């Protein structure tokens, strides 16, 4: 199948849009005509994989329509509208326990996983393209996927809005709804109001009487957070936030979602929590958070990590899309659409804070 793809040849250079050949689906594979694909921070940090001059095909928030299926595919058929998400084996101890995001084979399956069959899935002329990112590499007009990461959705769903639910939106929303689980009267603080943090805010607003404070550097995103229901939006540039958070939350946050991946921010967030508070970190970063062990122990605080919202995508993504359809999860306020040929413009707008979640369309 000949199509166009957004490729990375050099992590220090811009993306290129080039014609590629996508193979037909083989046993267990699904060929999806990509309608849209969200741009996630993980796509950008993963560009360093492989040789700098080797074409790399990224994209892991795809959505589209099934064009064809290979032998042994049972749960998906041509014509299905689908959202693409992360891969998992379905058989290991973590998958069996309902925690597919922590699949024992997650790295092998998601980080440019090799095809089970001989021959490349994607070629640029005679050159194989490094693909298989999250089992989809959906920065192209077509993508090869498998049943475990292909979620069938209602045909009425706007696929450009649905695409980010495959990773970013389910990560933020899942961290709140599946892990933190705030209830009436609780006080959630979200550090970082990018796509993941905003999804956490929207998720919290689906629970009655949960107060939300956002900590964010971008003025535009602080303003949007207030429009979406945050009680307050703090600028960390104005000084240490812990004392201000405790004042705004009547003594401290009961729940914290950190999306920044910055060790110092996470340490500040734990300090800002009340007795028995829980902090969940979803941002991948480096360093060791400066945690006061006495504060952690004496006040019974909890800190844990979370990926992909601890979700089971086959059930959680349709749940979130139903909330969006009902108006309770207004993801349309976060998404900006760009033709895939305008990826550099999309990235510039995202870096400048003009958009929260850029989505490429084909």
Given pLDDT bands bounded at 50, 70 and 90, which one contains residue 116?
low
2-166+330-361 architecture in CATH?
A: Alpha-Beta Complex (3.90)
Contact, 261 vs 275, CB < 8 A?
Answer: no
> pLDDT, tens digit, for every residue of 320-346?
999 999 999 999 999 999 999 999 999
Query: What is the rounded average pLDDT of the residues 108-115?
Result: 84
Note the helical H segments in 205-353.
219-227, 242-248, 263-271, 293-298, 313-325, 343-351
Furthest C-alpha separation in the chain: 63
What mean pLDDT is reported for the chain?
95
Helix axes 219-227, 195-204, angle to 10 degrees: 20
On the question of a common fold for 2-166+330-361 and 172-307, the answer reads no
Q: Which residue ranges make up each domain of the chain?
A: 2-166+330-361, 172-307
Note the helical H segments in 135-218.
159-162, 168-174, 195-204
Parallel, antiparallel or unpaired: strands 253-258 and 187-191: parallel
Kindly tell me if the per-residue pLDDT of 52 is higher than 70. no
Q: Residue 229 corresponds to which tokens in the numbers above? A: 């229901």
Given pLDDT bands bounded at 50, 70 and 90, which one contains residue 92?
very high
Nearest CA to 60 out of 116, 139, 130 is that of 139
> pLDDT, tens digit, for every residue of 264-303?
999 999 999 999 999 999 998 889 999 999 999 999 999 9
- Give me the pLDDT at residue 117, please: 67
> pLDDT, tens digit, for every residue of 346-356?
999 999 989 99
- Give me the pLDDT at residue 190, please: 98
pTM, two decimal places: 0.95
Kindly tell me if the per-residue pLDDT of 43 is higher than 90. no
Strand, coil or helix: 348: helix
> pLDDT, tens digit, for every residue of 122-157?
999 989 999 999 999 999 999 999 999 999 999 999
CATH of domain 172-307: 3.40.50.720
């Amino acid at each position: 199948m000949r199509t166009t793809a957004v490729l990375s040849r050099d992590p220090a250079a811009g993306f290129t849009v080039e014609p590629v050949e996508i193979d037909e689906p083989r046993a267990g594979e699904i060929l999806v005509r990509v309608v849209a694909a969200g741009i996630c921070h993980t796509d950008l940090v993963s560009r360093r994989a492989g040789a700098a001059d080797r074409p790399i095909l990224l994209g892991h928030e795809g959505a589209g329509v099934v064009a064809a299926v290979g032998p042994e595919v049972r749960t998906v058929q041509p014509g299905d509208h689908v959202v693409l998400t992360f891969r998992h084996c379905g058989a290991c101890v973590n998958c069996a326990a309902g925690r597919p995001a922590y699949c024992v084979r997650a790295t092998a399956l998601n980080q440019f996983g090799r095809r089970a069959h001989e021959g490349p899935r994607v070629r640029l002329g005679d050159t194989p393209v490094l693909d298989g990112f999250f089992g989809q590499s959906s920065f192209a007009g077509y993508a090869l996927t498998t049943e475990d990461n292909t979620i069938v959705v209602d045909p009425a769903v706007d696929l450009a809005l649905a695409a980010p639910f495959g990773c970013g939106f389910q990560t933020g929303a899942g961290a709140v709804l599946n892990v933190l689980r705030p209830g009436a009267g609780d006080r959630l603080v979200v550090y970082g109001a990018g796509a993941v943090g905003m999804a956490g805010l929207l998720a919290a607003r689906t629970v009655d009487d949960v107060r939300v404070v956002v900590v964010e550097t971008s003025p535009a995103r602080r303003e949007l957070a207030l429009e979406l229901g945050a009680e307050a939006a703090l600028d960390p540039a104005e000084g240490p936030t812990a004392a201000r958070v405790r004042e705004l939350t009547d003594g401290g946050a009961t729940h914290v979602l950190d999306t920044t991946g910055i060790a110092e921010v996470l340490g500040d967030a734990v300090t800002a929590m009340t007795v028995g508070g829980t902090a969940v970190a979803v941002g991948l970063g480096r360093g060791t958070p400066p945690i006061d062990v006495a504060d952690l122990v004496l006040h019974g605080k909890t800190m844990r990590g979370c990926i992909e919202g601890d979700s089971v995508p086959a059930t959680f993504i349709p749940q979130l899309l139903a909330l969006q359809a009902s108006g309770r999860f207004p993801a349309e306020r976060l998404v900006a659409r760009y033709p895939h040929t305008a990826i550099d413009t999309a990235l510039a707008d995202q870096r400048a804070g003009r958009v929260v979640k850029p989505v490429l369309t084909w």
